[in-house]
Amino acid sequence: MNKNARVAILIIFTSLLVFNIFGIQRFPKPEFESGYSQPETQVPSPRGAIFEYLDLAVFIGCLSLISWLVIKKRSRKGVFWLSIFSLLYFGFYRKGCICPVGSLQNISMALFNPEYSLPITAIAFFVLPLGFTLFFGRTFCAGVCPLGAIQDIFAFRPVSLKSWVQSLLGLIPFIYLGLAVLFAATGTDFIVCRYDPFVGFFRHNASFMMFAIGGILLLISVFIARPYCRFLCPYGVLLNLVSRFSKKHLSIAPSKCISCRLCEDACPFGAIDKPTGAKNKEQSNVLVKRLILYCLITPLLMGVCGWTASKYHESFAKVNFKVRLANEIMLSAKTETAQPALEVTTFRASGKAVEKLYAEAARIVDRFYIGSWFLGGFIGLVFGLTLARFTLVQYRTEYTTNKGTCFSCARCVDYCPVKE
């Protein structure tokens, strides 16, 4: 009896759903006698695709202009005003989407998911700043990135951080980058976009949480200039690495540095390398030994970190919608009394095969397993190389910009008394 009733309910339920899916016209359109004329359904059209290419043109224009301002003109004023323009255009007018920082996720998703087709602007926004950085240093950070610009104008009272603090916090972007690539490559989520702290200001609209995080970061940037750029931005990692090999780069002095020390505290980002003392033979022997040790430790670190991360691959995988759904369906199949989640009932009503979902979820979990090994290995490599880097001492006789961390903001240029 009970079973029959259940079957009857099921039939009624599914028939209702079938009606719903095929949208059967239950009530035909009436034939009006009062001369009523039917209005038309109105739907607003999206912003035209042509504007997308306009954005791209503005982007390329800004990149060219900022590189010229930094390398040739050496004008802090010019950099500042261009960064204001970028903040207004890419930030407040275009509402911060799409930006190169987020585009790295589109790229990694496209690289690992052949079925994902990405917009051409995403490729351009990813490749162009890196290309410009390869030739001119991180000029993109100086005046085109709206996220950088909004922090830069708040840098009123920058304090200089101890170099070990900088190095330690500087590891966070690598981990963030690794996680962002892991989640994007598995087609799970775009965490960089999700936790973009300033996009809420650009849209005048965000959850309280994101406003709070953005506000706190802006407050911090009064004292620690550009905290997001230096200690969070995952795209900055790529720019940092590429910029080290750049063909040209902003130099503090236009010609020979006279070591007057005027620029010593000019950089709010701690990106000016001071001259070092003369070479010390004994010390360098110790350092070479240490370097060899760290180089031997690095693979070990990679292994340990990879193994540790792979232990958490199931927790990472739970962020994925399909994996979570499969888990919940498995759970609700075991405990029948519990009220199943909305996702579960929706899935059951859709009539898709559970086995297929399970198989797909298992495949995603497998990808997370491999991915988390790579993530851990990458983090281990970064740790190892960071340690090894401390043993490498570059001998300098001049004040120079650190090509990796310098944002090419050209503040130091104004401090330099050498003008020719």
Partner 1 sequence: MDDKKQIKRREFINTGVRIGIGVGLGAIGVVLSTRTLSGKSVWQIDPAKCVQCGKCATSCVLEQSAVKCVHVIEMCGYCDLCGGYLRPETKELNTAAESQLCPTAAIARKFVEEPFFEYHIIEELCIGCGKCVKGCGAFGNGSLQLQVQHKLCVNCNQCAIARVCPSEAFSRVPATAPYLLKGFENKK
Interaction of residue 105 with partner 1, rule CB under 8 A: yes
| Phi, psi at 20, each rounded to 5° | -60, -45
* Tokens standing for residue 179: 């996680």
147-186: contacts with partner 1 (CB under 8 A): none
Looking at 170-230, which runs of residues are DSSP E strands? none
* Residue type at position 91: G
* 270 Cβ contact list (under 8 Å, min separation 6): 160, 161, 163, 166, 405
Interaction of residue 278 with partner 1, rule CB under 8 A: no
Interaction of residue 323 with partner 1, rule CB under 8 A: no
Considering only 3, 4, 30, 335, the residue that binds partner 1 (CB under 8 A) is 30
Interaction of residue 26 with partner 1, rule CB under 8 A: yes
Interaction of residue 15 with partner 1, rule CB under 8 A: no
Instruction: Find out whether 303 and 396 touch, Cβ atoms under 8 Å.
Output: no
Q: How many chain residues interact with partner 1 (CB under 8 A)?
A: 69
How many CB atoms are located within 10 Å of the residue 181 CB? 23
Interaction of residue 348 with partner 1, rule CB under 8 A: no
Interaction of residue 366 with partner 1, rule CB under 8 A: no
Interaction of residue 246 with partner 1, rule CB under 8 A: yes
Considering only 68, 89, 223, 321, the residue that binds partner 1 (CB under 8 A) is 321
Written as one string, the DSSP assignment of 381-409 is HHHHHHHHHHH-----SS-EE-TTT----
Provide the minimum distance between the beta carbon of 29 and partner 1 in the complex, in angstroms, as a whole number.
7
Quote the radius of gyration of the chain (alpha carbons, Å).
28
Interaction of residue 45 with partner 1, rule CB under 8 A: yes
Binding region for partner 1 (CB under 8 A) out of 100-108, 154-162, 374-382, 406-414: 100-108
Is the Cβ of residue 1 or residue 50 nearer to partner 1 in the bound state? 50
- 272-273 and 400-401 as β-strands: parallel, antiparallel, unpaired? antiparallel
Give dist(CA 95, CA 112) in Å, integer. Answer: 28
Interaction of residue 400 with partner 1, rule CB under 8 A: no
Is the Cβ of residue 4 or residue 45 nearer to partner 1 in the bound state? 45
* Residue type at position 359: A
Considering only 131, 215, 303, 340, the residue that binds partner 1 (CB under 8 A) is 131
Give dist(CA 184, CA 314) in Å, integer. Answer: 16
Interaction of residue 206 with partner 1, rule CB under 8 A: yes
Interaction of residue 46 with partner 1, rule CB under 8 A: yes
Q: What single DSSP character describes residue 161?
A: P
Query: How many residues make up the chain in this entry?
Result: 420
Instruction: Find out whether 83 and 149 touch, Cβ atoms under 8 Å.
Output: yes
Give dist(CA 289, CA 7) in Å, integer. Answer: 77
Could you list the residues that contact partner 1 (CB under 8 A)?
16, 20-21, 23-30, 32-34, 36, 38-41, 43-49, 52, 95, 97-98, 102-103, 105-107, 110-111, 114, 116-120, 123, 126-127, 130-131, 134, 189-190, 193-194, 199, 203, 205-207, 242, 245-247, 321, 342-343, 346-347, 349-350
